[in-house]
């Protein structure tokens, strides 16, 4: 690895850490202006001013904002996400299982959508301008045009209620086998696949078509190589960087953007956990969930940048 590549990698990692720090400030400031009061939420509307004041003092809500932010950030650096204000439980322990469920859902959506999107992109380029290309584009664009919540309810009604092929509520527990878990999450996975498939397929197609205009591709075709061989052996390897970028962006969405799907299917993931505690004005939980979502999104984008740098032959083999 040459010095230029190493410098770029260090810059990307440093930029990622800086972004996480800046996002932590934004999340903290955003939670401070949320309407409502957790003390009022816990004690109810009939609480006396004295009891509200005592509870705010006990929960540390009277501490100056800067001190609260520094205490929270110091805890995050040490791996301590704090304690929930509404139930007194450790947030890190509560999030662990929820995050595992969200990653499990996102993983299976990625296992299905990524190979399928790349395959459809390759087929679309192979039959460019012909009916397979037009059919693939029409179907994928139609799927992405439907909002997630509407698609979720449509699948829930027809597949779960009318046909009875899958459960309408995606509940998991430790006693379930892998097949039972996959059956339980089949509908939310289907929704997530349809949401990210079109974007990845279109970007794969665009990246391949851009490479297909290169002179060496024309030379390969003039040598009499089959179009499928040219696309797979010559065009696809040189399109890896932009394809990885769009795949990582969609993987970040699968983890961060599952809130709507988790709420609709009552899935015990991070999104459902976040929504439940926003309603309770549980600020430490909201801060922890927001920071984890942001860190996952930034990390996956940083990983895409690193792959793009390592895949660039002009950086790996400078003159």
Give residue for tokens 């664009």: 141
- Domain of residue 293, CATH code: 1.10.3720.10
Assigned domain for 115 exists:
yes
Q: Whole-model pTM?
A: 0.79
Assigned domain for 301 exists:
yes
pLDDT value at residue 231: 78
Rounded-to-integer distance, Cα 249 and Cα 61, Å? 37
Angle (CA) 55 61 65, round 5°:
175
Assigned domain for 147 exists:
yes
> Low-confidence residues of the chain, pLDDT below 70?
1, 34-47, 55, 59-60, 311-319
For residue 212, give its domain range: 3-35+81-316
Assigned domain for 58 exists:
no
pLDDT value at residue 99: 86
Number of domains, the chain: 1
Rounded-to-integer distance, Cα 8 and Cα 10, Å? 5
Assigned domain for 124 exists:
yes
């Amino acid at each position: 690895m040459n010095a230029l590549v190493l410098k770029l990698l260090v810059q990307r990692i440093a930029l990622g850490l800086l972004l996480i720090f800046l996002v932590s400030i934004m999340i903290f400031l955003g939670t401070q202006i949320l309407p409502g009061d957790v003390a009022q939420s816990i004690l109810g509307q009939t609480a006396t001013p004295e009891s509200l004041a005592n509870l705010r003092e006990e929960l540390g809500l009277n501490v100056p904002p800067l001190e609260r932010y520094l205490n929270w950030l110091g805890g995050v650096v040490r791996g301590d996400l704090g304690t929930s204000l509404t139930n007194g439980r450790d947030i890190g322990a509560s999030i662990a299982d929820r995050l595992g469920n969200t990653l499990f859902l996102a993983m299976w959506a990625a296992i299905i959508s990524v190979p399928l999107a790349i395959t459809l992109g390759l087929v679309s380029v192979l039959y460019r301008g012909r009916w397979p290309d037009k059919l693939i584009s029409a179907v994928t664009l139609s799927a992405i045009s439907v909002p997630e919540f509407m698609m979720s309810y449509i699948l829930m009604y027809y597949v779960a209620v009318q046909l009875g092929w899958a459960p309408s509520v995606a509940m998991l527990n430790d006693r379930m086998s892998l097949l039972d878990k996959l059956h339980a999450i089949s509908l939310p996975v289907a929704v997530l696949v349809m949401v990210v498939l079109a974007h990845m397929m279109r970007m794969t197609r665009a990246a391949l078509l851009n490479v297909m205009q290169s002179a060496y591709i024309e030379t390969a075709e003039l040598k009499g190589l089959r179009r499928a061989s040219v696309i797979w052996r010559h065009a696809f390897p040189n399109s890896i960087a932009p394809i990885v970028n769009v795949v990582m962006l969609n993987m970040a969405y699968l983890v961060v953007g599952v809130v709507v799907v988790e709420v609709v299917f009552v899935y015990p993931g991070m999104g459902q956990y976040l929504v439940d505690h926003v309603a309770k004005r549980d600020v430490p939980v909201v801060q922890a969930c927001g920071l984890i979502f942001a860190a996952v999104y930034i990390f996956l984008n940083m990983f895409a940048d690193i792959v793009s740098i390592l895949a660039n032959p002009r950086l790996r083999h400078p003159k």
